[in-house]
Structure 1
Amino acid sequence: MRNRIWLTVLLSVVSLVAVAPFVLMLVVALSPRFAPTIPYAWPSALTLDNFAALLSTESFLRWTGNTVLYSGVSVVAVLLSASMAAYVFARKRFPGRDALLWSLLSTLMVPFHAVLLPSVVLIQQLGWADTYWGLIVPTLANAQAVLLLRQFIRALPDEVFDAARIDGAGDWRIYRSVVLPLCRPVLGTLAVFVFLWHWNDFLWPLVVSGDGETTTLTVGLSTLDAGHLTAPELMAAATVTGVPCLLVFLLVQRRLVDTVTFTGPGR
């Protein structure tokens, strides 16, 4: 009983330490523009003026729209391409399948920075610099997504696929009518992962878009002149950027744990 109490106290302290920066960010963001902020003094009044000023800025709205488009299109495209590839690797037999799979998975061991320069040169030669094509297309080959879905599909009962083939279903119909519905939990989890990866992505949008028309939130916020902005204004920008990620995680945290547990080592 005593050990459980100490464990509860320890977890509570760790949770408070983890949550404290987010609480501080929100409180400062709600403070008047020139009011002293934590840790110097608790604000005497809270206001939404910082958020209103931020959301009325044309550049910020453009950055937000670019980020939503970048994240949303990437989620749909990655789920489709990765689920198709995972079904083939999990349920089809063809010469070179294992070699191709291991070649794909070996890319996980290559640091992104090692292929950054060749990728940028290729994008420039294609004329895709500062375009949505250059921003989105190179990020769609996601070996982690393929691996996660492959493990899930391999764990599905063989009888389901045998019954579909007996009914005369082809590969496309099996994929559409069997694989996708059964993979709905892991697809939802993967959608969250992909969304967070792209929403928080900084390096690739920076080198492809810079401060152009397709600038995303992470890159745009880094270009803000902190010398002309107060702490509440900066914290308001950080809050608007971080809240969507936090809400998405809170909504699906249980499914995340269940799916990762289920998609352990494949059989």
Structure 2
Amino acid sequence: MTLTAAHPAAPTAPAPTRRRTWGRMSGRWPLVALLAVVSILTVSPFAVMLVLALSPPRAPTVPHQWPDALTLDNIVSTLTAAGFVSWTVNSLIYAGVSVVVILLTASMAGYAFAKKRFPGRDALMWAFLATMMVPFQATLIPLFVLVSSLDGVDTFWGMIVPTLANSQAVFLMRQFIRDLPDELFEAARIDGASEWRIFCQIVLPLTRPILATLGVFVFLWHWNDFLWPLVVAQSEELRTLTVGLTSLRGEEYPLAMVMASAAVSVVPCLVVFFLLQRYLVNSIASTGFK
């Protein structure tokens, strides 16, 4: 009888894909830890503001520990205050009108700079972008003198019109429209479409993502704007929310009431952001890199 030696089974090597996956994950831990720390530091002030807004009026200035009881009295008092309601309406008018006008003018200017040819186009674009390097504080006094000479002080148009020339919005629109295929515009012109019809039926629908992104940015810029409304809106009837909340610090208002007002003022920004957030990342990442 012949005996056959059993061959030992070959050891199973770990799958290369698992090693690569583990290597990638282990290399990302420092980045994940850094992002977690930055996120905690970013959210902490908002958490403290919310705790103070929900604390009783006699709560400590800084909540070293969770308060014994939470209450909505500060929020209700804020919403029923006459001054707060008028400040909110003024901020909505200031931000809403600015968003509509800036999106319209920036899209028209971006289309002209991207698809139209005229003498000095590039030089004019670079000169327009150079205005971004000039700080607003340097032009504040001449701008106020100009608005004052036109009787625009303490008016809505005097507060809105000087902020409508947004070079950053024009640049983003130009970068986005420049990557649109020229064949679309040539075919529309062959079919007899006017420039206004091309702009309304081709440019605006195709630029919807970048328009939504700019709408979020412009709304946040004007909603949180403080210096220009403080200078122009000199009466209490035209105060915006940022100016009105700052004025509360000099009056006999408890800190919990001020924090409640600040917490309520953040709600419109969060609503606008969450409604349009799906456009933000894709449009910014694709602008100028298509």
TM-score tier by shorter-chain length is over 0.9
| Cα deviation, residue 4, structure 1 | 3.2
The answer for the alignment partner of 1:68 in structure 2 is 92
Alignment of 1:132-211 (within 5 A): 132-211=156-235
Does structure 1 conserve the Cα–Cα contact (< 8 Å) formed by 2:213 and 2:280?
yes
**2:261 corresponds to which of 209, 225, 237:** 237
Match of 1:15 in 2: 39
Give the 5 Å matches for 1:87-102.
Answer: 87-102=111-126
Q: 2:132 aligns with which of 91, 108, 115?
A: 108
Cα separation, 1, equivalents of 2:57 and 2:167 = 45
Match runs of 1:27-42 below 5 Å:
27-36=51-60, 38-42=62-66
Residues of 2 paired with 1:59 and 1:84: CA distance? Answer: 38
Offset, 1:211: 4.0
The answer as to whether partners of 1:211 and 1:220 remain within 8 angstroms in 2 is no
**1:47 Cα shift?**
1.2
Query: Which residue is equivalent to 1:260?
Result: 284
- What does residue 215 of structure 1 align with? 239
Which amino acid in structure 2 is aligned with residue 17 of structure 1?
A: L
**Does 1:43 find its partner at 2:64?**
no
**What are the Cα deviations for residues 243-262 of structure 1, in whole angstroms up to 9, with x where unaligned?**
32234334434421211111
> Letter of the aligned partner of 1:170 in structure 2?
S
**Contact 2:51–2:63 (8 Å) recurs in 1:** no
Aligned with 2:237: secondary structure? coil
How many angstroms apart in 1 are the aligned matches of 2:41 and 2:57? 26
Unaligned runs of at least 5 residues, structure 1: none
RMSD: 1.7
Q: Mind listing any 5+ residue stretches in structure 2 that lack a counterpart?
A: 1-24
- Does residue 84 in structure 1 map to residue 108 in structure 2? yes
Question: 1:141, 1:4 → 2: CA distance?
Answer: 42
Normalising by the residue count of structure 1, what TM-score does the alignment of the two structures yield? Answer: 0.93
> Residues 107-139 of structure 1: CA distance to partner in whole angstroms, max 9, x if unpaired?
111111111111101111111101001010111
Q: Deviations over 1:154-177 (max 9, x none)?
A: 000111111111111010000011
1:138-157 CA-partner distances (Å, limit 9, x unpaired): 11111111110011110001
Of 189-198 and 84-93, deviating more is: 84-93
Q: Is 2:52–2:63's contact at 8 Å kept on the other side of the alignment?
A: no
Amino acid in structure 2 at the alignment position of 1:50: N
Given that residues 210 and 219 in structure 1 are in contact (C-alpha distance below 8 angstroms), is that contact kept between their aligned partners in structure 2?
no
Counterpart amino acid of 2:150?
L
Identity %: 59
**TM-score, length-scaled by structure 2:** 0.86
Greater Cα radius of gyration, structure 1 or 2: 2
